[in-house]
Amino acid sequence: MPERRFNGFFSGSQPWLSAAALATLLALSACDNSTDQSDGANDSQAAESNTESTAEPSTDDTPTADSSSSSTAPSPKAKLETRHETFRRTADHCSGDDCPIVTVDLELYEGHPELNQAVRRRLTQQLAVSGEDNPPPSASLEDAAKRFLATAGEIPGEGARGWKLNGETSQLGHWKDLLTVAIDSYEFTGGAHGMPVTRWLNWDLTNNRPVSLGQVIRPGQEDTFEQAARQAHDQWLDKEVDSDQDFREAWPFHETSDFRFTRKGLVLHYDVYTIAPYVMGQPTLTVPWEALEGVVRDDYRPKDG
Kindly give, in sequence order, each residue whose CB lies less than 8 Å from that of residue 31, ignoring residues fewer than 6 positions away. Answer: 182, 198, 269, 281, 282, 283, 284
Is 70 exceeded by the pLDDT of residue 286? yes
State the amino acid at position 121 in one-letter form.
Answer: R
**What pLDDT is recorded for position 243?**
62
pLDDT band at 30; cut points 50, 70, 90 = very low
259 pLDDT above the threshold of 70: yes
Sequence-separated (6 or more) residues with CB below 8 Å from residue 219: none
Asked if the model's pLDDT at residue 59 lies above 80, the reply is: no
Strand ranges across the sheet with 259-262:
259-262, 265-269, 284-288
Residues 6+ apart with CB under 8 A from 116: 63, 66, 68, 106, 108, 109
| SS3 labels along 75-132 | CCCCCCEEEEEEEEEECCCCCCCCCCEEEEEEEEECCCHHHHHHHHHHHHHHCCCCCC
pLDDT of residue 32: 42
Residues of the chain with CATH 3.90.640.20: 216-300
Q: 63: how many CB neighbours lie within 10 A of its CB?
A: 15
Residue 146 parent element (H or E): helix 141-153
Where in the chain do CATH 3.30.565.40 domains reside?
Answer: 37-211
Q: Are 148 and 101 in contact (CB under 8 A)?
A: no
Amino acid 35: pLDDT: 46
Distance CA 301, CA 262 (A): 10
Sheet strand arrangement including 47-53: 47-53, 81-90, 101-109, 164-175, 178-188, 195-204, 209-210
Domain boundaries 216-300, CATH class? alpha beta
Give the pLDDT of residue 290: 97
> Helix, strand or coil for residue 267?
strand
d(CA 92, CA 102): 12
Whole-number percent of the chain with pLDDT over 70:
72
Helix 113-126 vs helix 141-153: crossing angle, to nearest 10? 20
Confirm if 228 and 295 have CB atoms less than 8 A apart: yes
Task: Report if pTM > 0.85.
Answer: no
Sign of dihedral through CA atoms 27, 20, 101, 183? Answer: positive
According to CATH, the superfamily of the domain at 37-211 is Fervidobacterium nodosum Rt17-B1 like (3.30.565.40)
- Written as one string, the DSSP assignment of 195-264 is EEEEEEEEEETTTTEE--HHHHBPTT-HHHHHHHHHHHHHHHHHHHSTT-HHHHHHS-----S-EEEETT
d(CA 284, CA 85) in angstroms, rounded, equals 28
* Per-residue pLDDT reduced to its tens digit, 75-121: 555 689 999 999 999 998 888 889 999 999 999 999 999 999 999 99
**pLDDT tens-digit profile of 204-240?**
999 999 999 999 999 999 999 999 999 999 999 998 8
User: How large is the average pLDDT for residues 51-64?
Assistant: 40
Q: Position 287: which residue type?
A: V
Question: What would you report as the CA-atom Rg of the chain, rounded to the nearest whole angstrom?
Answer: 20
- 142 has a pLDDT exceeding 80: yes
